Structure 1
Amino acid sequence: MTARRETFFLPYSAGTGEWRQRGQDEGRCNLWQIIPDIHGDNDRLERSLAMAKDARSAFLGDFIDASEKVTAPDDAAVLRRIRTLVENEGAVAVMGNHELNAILYHRRGTDGHPLRKRSDKNAAQHASFLARFGTETPEALDWTDWFLTLPLWLDLGGLRLVHACWSDPHVALVAERRPDARLQAEDLEEIAQESSAFGRAVKTLVSGPEAQLPAGASFLDFGRHRREEVRLAWWRSDARTWRGAVLSVPDPSELPDALLPGDIQATIYPDDAAPVLVGHYKMAGLPELEAANAACLDYPSSPCVYHWRGEPQLLGSNLLIL
């Protein structure tokens, strides 16, 4: 299959900082269904698509690498379905961190070594893809070639999509080199090494921001490992303290009840920015909108989709549980 690189909305103009829509596509779609992480769960994919009705689908990445909770993982079926929708039926999709990890896992650097270590941990995370396609096989390389055609972010003319984090400085930095938001093979080694501002910006967009806690502060994670870095819920525009801005901390009272430093506060998404939807974070509980203009849709135990009709602020009534 030859991948088609059509994008309905030009992602970013590095020169002007403006978002531009292709004139030929204006008014073509009044309803988008935003679908978060599928992770090899074909049943979840088909249930999500069944809710689309007349909506065009927009995928938030992480199509592959099923968890142990997926009873019948089928990365191949998921990928074939999504690729067909993107190439032939007007759907769009952004790259997730699992797609980027797969690209790196199956390619080698100039030193001849894989760009992503093939450790037991990394292989386990990639198990359902490896079971179907193998390592560095022609099929694996074909699919990861297709992953490289996916943009890191999209703007649907009023709604922003990115897998893990929308950060204007990081988007602008990547767009200086790749204004269409698509990576090239020559970018991969510095991304794998996180050896440049460009590489680190790409990782932030697909994996989200983390922050070092103040000196002496730490917490026990869900695996009872003590950590000194935290993941940030950057979409919580009202977050002002460490306890209010973190994710995946079992007991936030372990953290300082102190204001965020200015550089970290600057990563919080402004409450007057365009609405943005992300996946990635494996949120617990029932899906909810934590801000009027930014939300995570990745709730593995209560899968959901969002129907966007052009509203300038996100609406709870458009957040639909499968």
Structure 2
Amino acid sequence: MTQTWTVIPDLHADPARLEATLRMLEPGPLAFLGDFIDAGASTPCPDDAAVLTRVRDLVARGGVAVMGNHELNAILYHRLGVDGVPLRTRGGKNAAQHRSFVEAFGTATPAALEWTDWFLSLPLWLDLGGLRLVHACWNQPAIDVIAARRPDARLRAEDLAEVAAKTTPFARAVDTLLTGPEIALPAGHGFVDAHGHRRDRVRIAWWRSAAKTWAEAALSVPDPAQLPIGPLPHAPEITLYPADAPPVLIGHYKMQDAPRIEAPNAACLDYPDQPCAYRWCGEAVLSERQLVTVQPGA
């Protein structure tokens, strides 16, 4: 008999969202898609410690979890390289991203290092037998590169300086799984993102296997009219998820509007404005009937 899993996406230090989600779920094993930490501006009462303690307990009692990019960033932020310099720059945008975690645990304190040790124990991906989980992108070539060194999908301390530098195939493969693919727009093209910054690279919705054009494949572009007209180029960064592959669930992308299933075998569950979870019962074709939407105050 196929085991069922309830899959919960990015929590970002929001214990109210976590508890509301848990109250709406049927009993059964839980799977988490990472990004437990680092509250955003919209989180009313952030509590990294509460979320982490609850999730770690649920994992210890039979749940599973994969690492998110915020967990990897925290691992690097709180550790030094052999030169004594932090593996992730402290200050500026990075300090702002990690503010709620640092306010809870400090910087490179025993408590911060204890939690980041736990983050390091999380796999980069999971195959649960008919269901795949990864934080941002299931990219088989990248997984193969990592698995050749780390077949259990877990990073080691000796990998961290390489991963921080992002210059080797192994490091770039890790980055692909945790942040997803981006490609450069053609010369002369760009768009303004939701924060008013002009961008010349665009995120690609790799799970849309039928996507042929820039508009069909691009993510996080407020005005699609700013995208090039025409087909996507053939680029090594783009590996669209095969239509005959097992179903995969991801977080990471801060999708807009109501939660939905965009492809029969791949779905992003990260909808910050309308949180959701997915109840997987062995189906090879994902269904919106299995989405559990979380009501505020539930």
CA contact (8 A) 2:6 2:278 kept: yes
SS in 2 for 1:33: strand
Equivalent in the alignment of 1:165: 137
2: CA distance between counterparts of 1:205 and 1:283?
Answer: 18
Residue in structure 1 matching 2:50, options 77, 80, 88:
77
2:35 alignment partner, one of 58, 62, 68:
62
The match for 2:108 is 136
Partner secondary structure for residue 262 of structure 1: coil
Match of 1:104 among 41, 54, 76: 76
Map residues 82-93 of structure 1 onto 2, 5 A cutoff: 82-87=55-60, 89-93=61-65
Distance 2:238 2:20 in 1: 38
Asked if structure 2 preserves the Cα contact closer than 8 Å seen for 1:104 and 1:114, the reply is: yes
Deviation for aligned residue 1:266: 4.7
Q: Which residue among 256, 281, 291 is the counterpart of 1:309?
A: 281
CA offset digits 1:150-176 (Å, max 9, x no partner): 000001100100000000000111000
Task: Give the letter aligned to residue 205 of structure 1.
Answer: L
Does the aligned pair in 2 maintain the 1:240–1:260 contact within 8 Å?
yes
Q: 2:10 aligns with which of 18, 31, 37?
A: 37
Provide the C-alpha distance between the structure 2 equivalents of 1:264 and 1:295, rounded to a whole number of angstroms. Answer: 22
Conserved 8 A contact 1:275-1:312: yes
Rounded to whole Å, the distance in 2 between the matches of 1:263 and 1:138 is 43
Could you tell me which runs of 5 or more consecutive residues in structure 2 were left unpaired when the two chains were aligned: none
2:255 to 279, 283, 294: 283
Measured in 1, the distance between the counterparts of 2:192 and 2:249 equals: 29
Q: Which residue of 1 aligns with 2:158?
A: 186
Q: Any idea what SS the aligned residue of 1:263 has? A: coil
Q: CA deviation at 1:264?
A: 5.5
Two-structure CA RMSD over aligned residues (Å): 1.2
How does the TM-score come out when normalised to structure 2?
A: 0.96
**1-structure distance, mates of 2:11, 2:195:** 24
Q: Deviations over 1:184-205 (max 9, x none)?
A: 0000001100020100110110
Residue identity (%): 61
In structure 2, relative to structure 1, the CA distance for the partners of 1:133 and 1:106 (3 Å cut) is same
The Cα of 1:110 is off from its aligned counterpart by 1.2
Structure 2 equivalent of residue 245 of structure 1: 217
**Shift, 1:73, TM fit:** 0.7
- Tell me whether 1:299 sits opposite 2:271 in the alignment: yes
- List alignment gaps of at least 5 residues for structure 1: 1-26
Q: Is the 8 A contact 1:240 1:265 kept in 2?
A: no
Secondary structure of 2:147's partner? helix
Letter in 2 for 1:163: H
Q: Following the alignment from structure 1 to structure 2, what is the Cα–Cα distance between the partners of residues 321 and 224?
A: 30
Number of aligned residues: 294
Q: Tell me the residue number matched to 1:228.
A: 200
CA distance in 2, matches of 1:53, 1:295: 21
Q: In 1, are the aligned partners of 2:181 and 2:238 still within 8 Å (CA)?
A: no
- CA change 1:95–1:265 in 2 (3 A) is closer
AA partner of residue 23 (structure 2): A
Provide, for residues 96-121 of structure 1, a one-character-per-residue CA deviation record: whole Å limited to 9, x for no partner.
Answer: 00000000000011111000001221
SS at match of 1:257: coil
